[in-house]
Chains A and B, each alone.
Chain A
Amino acid sequence: MEIAESILLTIATAATPLLIAAIGELVVERSGVLNLGVEGMMVMGAVCGFAAAILTGSPWVGMLAGILAGAVFSLLFGFLTLSIATNQVATGLSLTLLGLGLSGMIGESFVGMAGIKLPTLHIPGLSDLPLIGKLFFGQDPIFYISLALTAAVIWFLFRTRTGLTLRSIGDNHTSAHALGIPVIRYRYLAVIFGGACAGLAGAHLSLVYTPQWVENMTAGRGWIALALVVFASWRPLRVLAGAYLFGAVTIGQLHAQALGLGIPSQLLSSLPYLATVVVLVLISRNRRLTMINTPASLGHPFVPDR
């Protein structure tokens, strides 16, 4: 019973950063922008969150710093792709490369320091329920934020007029522009939201998942989040399911490593990446499904003709 509980808990912890980063990127892509810089924004969130927590002694300040770092960093991408219409794929890549470099430099003096963990919720009685007590009532704040964020994005995209407008921009920015919708402004806000989410996801890694700073500690999670958005065919609930599936794969391979089944640890460590390739193949082979759901102007630069 206790083992089952701890496994479920670790799965939720592994899934949370993927869920947050992917939900943010989903909103960005729904607005028609492909930001491949998730990994870079996430690692910036991780290092800034960690550094701020150490310097101020408060993990809460760290969490906010992570969000802010991701958002500010995403503005770099926003300015290039939205204001001066650069290639989104290349610009996103450079955001990732710059983020990995910059975070290494910022974090150099923090390597090896013990981090400060965000406190977990404790409600007497409820948190002590067997099996599900800790899972639902005894986790870190970012876990609850991730679920609230998912619900909020579902409500925003499919239940509000602004959400409808955002989706229309993603499907046809020229028509949206002709209708007088400020395409670039919407996209800026979406990109900043995506950056803030990636930053929060990174802060989760360095303040909850493994409270320390290690260079490149995101280890491809930003890319897996990007893959999750495709896997989910741009639906928030499927992102949630996908994130927990990947959380389960990650934790499963960690437990297999701990058991020492004679399988090389490197093979087990590569499972999340191989699983990403496999699910991408499974979802993409259904050409019709992807065609219907992909935002039609995804990745195309937009220059208003006034």
Chain B
Amino acid sequence: MRVELVKRPQHSTLFSMLSPLIALALTVVAGGVLFAALGHNPFAALHSYFVTPISGIWDSDQIWQLHKLAIKAAPLILIAVGLAVCYQSNNWNIGAEGQLIMGAVAGSLIPILFPGFQNALTLPLMLLAGALGGAAYGAIPALLKTRFNTNEILTSLMLVYVAQLFVDWLARGVFRDPNGNNFPGSVRFSPAARVPEIYPPQGDAHWGVVLAIVVAVLVWLMLSRTLKGFEVKVLGGSPRAGRFAGFNAKGMVFFAFLLSGALAGLAGIIEVAGPTGQLREVISPGYGFAAIIVAFLGRLNPLGIIAAGLVLALTYIGGEEAQIVFGISDKVARVFQGMLLFFVLGCDTLIHYRIRLIGFGTAKAGEGN
């Protein structure tokens, strides 16, 4: 059997809408097969993986679960929105995990070095420092790409490992809480340095969730309604056309990396000042990499990314749920995430091509049309 692609005269609007949904459905089916192979009842396992965590929608006793979901989705949405701008402009930043860490470190400097500084300005300044830290770290691959023509995929990724080792050193070394019984991790942040929760009686979702959605809408407006957004798409789609239009290609590299770095840094400091409350040796469960999947699942559209962020958050939460109920390894979450990206990329082909299967003795009828 052979697969043949037939180019569509126009890209299919129908499949642009459907492809993420098909991909999701295929992932669920593949997940069921995986669970069955592991010796579990696939329907029950899928239920606890994908349905229980969102049961708060119809069961008010379970609303806290939706809060957990929102907390996981917030950093994914923030990072993926920035990555969408990068990928649309053809800049392959895959080092968001490192930018997240450096943002968390930069923002944490304020409560760690000046624990007495506690007022209404503390948190805003931390968020600002976090964004700046992430942007500065994102500027390194941008600078190397524009100045030395260095491949940004490899440099941004290498810097992730460096950032992970750096924060490990901080949390175990210079920033370690002297009263922390020798556990790695900084002093706990004061309430003024924490991201407040929206409605504590119901669950622990914090204002970072709202911020993530606001940022996604703003970037959506920028991409769809402003000249800058047009520039992103032209330079990404055809650098030559962009040059003729007088757009600055190097400027775009910096714009994309600084924006995505800043948003990843913001996600980092929100994570540290939100759920965690201190700088630890490990900051994120791979949000920077999962956000790559979010960006593609959301079809590089910030509004789609909000939905995609919730889906990926579900794979994290569902993984925990399935581990508790069935004893299924929580590693399954990462398998789900990887499969999801595969299916998304495969289904995206349907937007530009019709797929024809040839072989198995089928006559080549209709070949002439």
Chain A residues packing against B (C-beta within 8 Å): 36, 76, 80, 83-87, 89-91, 93-94, 97-102, 104-105, 108, 219-220, 223, 226-227, 230, 264, 266-267, 269-270, 273-274, 276-277, 280-281, 284-285, 287, 290, 303, 306
Contacts and interface: CB of A to CB of B under 8 A. Distances in A.
Interface stretch (B101-109, B114-122, B217-225, B340-348): B340-348
A303 B5 contact: yes
Given A84-B353, A90-B345, A270 B162 contact: yes
Given A101-B335, A227-B158, A85 B349 contact: yes
B148 A84 contact: no
9 pairs of A and B residues whose beta carbons are closest in the complex: A98-B338, A101-B334, A94-B341, A266-B169, A266-B165, A104-B331, A105-B331, A285-B148, A101-B335
Interface string B159-188: 101100110110001000000000000000
Contact of A101 (B153, B154, B337): B337
A76 B332 contact: no
B335 A105 contact: yes
Contact of B7 (A89, A100, A226, A303): A303
Given A100-B334, A284-B151, 10 more contacts: A84-B353, A97-B341, A98-B341, A102-B335, A105-B331, A223-B158, A273-B158, A273-B162, A277-B150, A290-B149
B151 A230 contact: yes
Contacts of A105: 329, 331-332, 334-335
Interface stretch (B193-201, B247-255, B289-297, B303-311): B289-297
B3 interface: yes
A32 to B, nearest CB: 16
A76 B348 CA distance: 16
Contacts of A100: 334, 338
Nearest to B348: A86
30 contacts: A36-B153, A80-B342, A80-B345, A84-B349, A86-B348, A87-B345, A89-B153, A97-B293, A101-B331, A101-B335, A101-B336, A101-B337, A104-B329, A105-B329, A105-B335, A108-B331, A219-B161, A220-B157, A223-B154, A227-B158, A230-B151, A264-B169, A266-B166, A269-B165, A270-B161, A273-B161, A273-B162, A280-B150, A281-B155, A306-B4
B360 to A, nearest CB: 16
A134 B191 CA distance: 62
Helix, strand, loop or mixed for chain B's interface? helix
A225 B44 CA distance: 42
B322 interface: no
Nearest to A105: B331
A266 B162 CA distance: 9
Contacts of B355: 84
A84 B331 contact: no
Nearest to A291: B149
Contact of B144 (A87, A93, A273, A277): A277
Interface string B308-333: 00000000000000000000010111
Q: Which among A84, A86, A264 has the highest number of chain B CB atoms within 10 Å?
A: A84
Contact of A226 (B154, B166, B168, B338): B154
Given A84-B349, A89-B92, A101 B342 contact: no
Contacts of B158: 220, 223, 227, 273-274, 276-277
Nearest to B3: A83
A80 B5 CA distance: 12
B81 interface: no
A230 B161 CA distance: 20
